[in-house]
Amino acid sequence: MQNNTINVVVRTSDGIVFQEDVKSLSAKNRIGKLDVLQNHANFISLIDQTIVMETLKGDRKEIEVNNGILKVKENKIEVFLGVKK
């Protein structure tokens, strides 16, 4: 993993849909927008709407979310999509 990056894994019940190091990730929960950069504090949140990631090449990758869980721990982000409320 390079400096200034975060490893992201996005999963559904069918398997991994995205796995890559990125510069940042943005998502929304019921309170509002949240942005995750390298060395972010550990936390877990329910999410909805869209996940937006900035790749190392500077591209923008979006994944639609109906509902899911976002977990940040030790500079790694795990997203579990399709989690029933």
Of 24, 32, 13, 30, nearest to 72 by C-alpha is 24
Identify the structural domains of the chain with CATH numbers, from first to last: 6-81 (2.60.15.10)
The pLDDT value given to residue 53: 97
CA pair distance 20, 18, nearest whole angstrom: 7
The pLDDT value given to residue 4: 87
Q: What is the pLDDT of residues 18-62, one digit of tens each?
A: 999 999 999 999 899 999 999 899 999 999 999 999 999 999 999
Beta strands 6-12; 33-36: pairing state:
unpaired
Of 46, 41, 42, nearest to 68 by C-alpha is 46
Q: Pick the residue with more confidence: 66 or 19?
A: 19
If you compute the radius of gyration of the chain from its CA atoms, what whole number of angstroms results?
Answer: 12
The amino acid sitting at 44 is I
pLDDT tier at 85, thresholds 50, 70, 90 = low
Q: Is residue 2's pLDDT more than 60? A: no
